[in-house]
Structure 1
Amino acid sequence: MSQAALDRLLPPEGVPLYFRVGGIGVRLAAQFTDLLITGAGAIAIFLLVLALNLATPTTAIAVASMLFFFIRIPYYAASELLWNGQTVGKRLMKIKVVSADGQALTTQSLVVRNLMKEAEIFLPGTLVLTLSTEALVPSILSLIWVIGVLAVPLFNRRRQRLGDIIAGTYVIHLPKPFLLPDMSKTMRPPSAAQPSFQFLTHQLEHYGAFELQTLEGVLRSSNRAKGPDAYKRHKETLAAIVVQVRRKIDYAEPVRPEDQQAFLEAFYKAQRAFLEQRQLFGDKRQDKHHAASPDQE
């Protein structure tokens, strides 16, 4: 696997996250695995069609191609929808599709990127494999097209193919989060003038260890000396995080600007205690997409 580049992703919470961009080698390995799965399914159904005499020798190739097509399209789109950007191959290779703008993946973007895969590779590739003297020029043009689209990821930073560029997606390596030493012990206790923030269990279900690490980094930076401009940007970052966290967990009570640091520290303590309790029972929530995590099976 080639060394993957780091990329900055800005999710709705407003805190930048850094991921390794999925390398071409690991993506090809995932693609090969998925082709084996869909190919095996197509072959099984094709053998059944032959056993039932539903295809003649003259139509066998056409039937096999149609079966492969009608299995492949739903497989890629449905698996990435159900597993939050992952197919079986991607789960094995520890990679996943994410939205380039940091938002949640949409059905439209996943369908578009997988339909484009047909136009990019599979349909021209089929024509290349059926190369003949009667269709020599179209086959050569198809070969040039396939080589061209396969080269596209080599010329952009996020290693996006055409389908990813159009759909606004790209592939990353899954992060390996873990809980750092608890920083809540070093936090100053809230003053009597500050409100006491309480969080319910269902409000703590939305985040995992990866987001907790990110929040911890922001809170740790609060104790560093800052110039006027840096301090202003830090306060704006805190305000943006508070807005996104309140929206995500449906926290109805308003948070005053002077209480934003205390709110996030209280949320950090509650979230960390919640995750540590989950770990005691074997439920390791890696990130906010924990339901689709390949390690949680």
Structure 2
Amino acid sequence: MPPLSPASVVTTLRAAGCVFAEDEARLILSTARTPDELAAMVDRRVAGLPLEHVVGWAEFSGLRIAVEPGVFVPRRRTEFLVEQALAHAPDASVVVDLCCGSGAVGAALAAVLGRVELHAADIDPAAVRCARRNVVPYGGQVHAGDLFTALPDALRGRVDILAANVPYVPTGEVGLLPAEARDHEPLVALDGGTDGLAILREVATGAPDWLAPGGCLLVETSERQLPAAVEAFTRGGLETRSAYSEELYANVVIGVRAVGAVRS
């Protein structure tokens, strides 16, 4: 079989329903090292594998983040969470990326902050393995476990930025997600419980014990869920506000541990 030409790659991807076939073809062609690898990558994309899983990376906050099959793909809208974290704590020295997936958020924060104590954690073994590829170059540590139980106890009361990109899709709506997410990303990274806010509430309740005075918790949510998410942060004892990016269609809830607040 002769090697695939650039034009034939575009045609094949377009026929498979890829809306941005030309852009995807350029990425695949620039990534494949051999004709056989190119053919295999095109086949995987045609079969419905997310483009990021096909090429092995995703662009996020100007970084090339390694992404393995079966790991949640970082969304561009989550760059707004990173921006908000840096705006609130530009001098942060201790950063935690909870529900880290690929570790994209933690890596993006460390890339800007420089010398920082970085920790990332996830319950999914594939995510933990992938996150190590992305945060270890920044001196970060990756922990396996369920939310705060994964973190070293020495972090209590010391965290300046706690970024938690928790799952927030209501259980009944997971089946409505695009096939790329529904079929190829872990359910644990998507399903947020009955109303989509179960994990967010757990994080909001536990966060004050881990935040340093003035430290912030940041979580992404949907516009529909925003009022309930803000209420959960407030009930957790955090000084709460929200931010919205029209460009990225992103909603972020920011909760701050008051300087005089007493840890539980």
TM range (shorter): under 0.3
Specify which structure has the higher proportion of strand: 2
Normalised to the residue count of structure 1, the TM-score between the two structures is 0.20
| Higher relative contact order (Cα pairs below 8 Å, separated by 6+ residues) | 1
Task: Give the TM-score of the pair, scaled to structure 2.
Answer: 0.22
Report the structure number with the largest CA radius of gyration: 1
More helix per residue: 1 or 2? 1
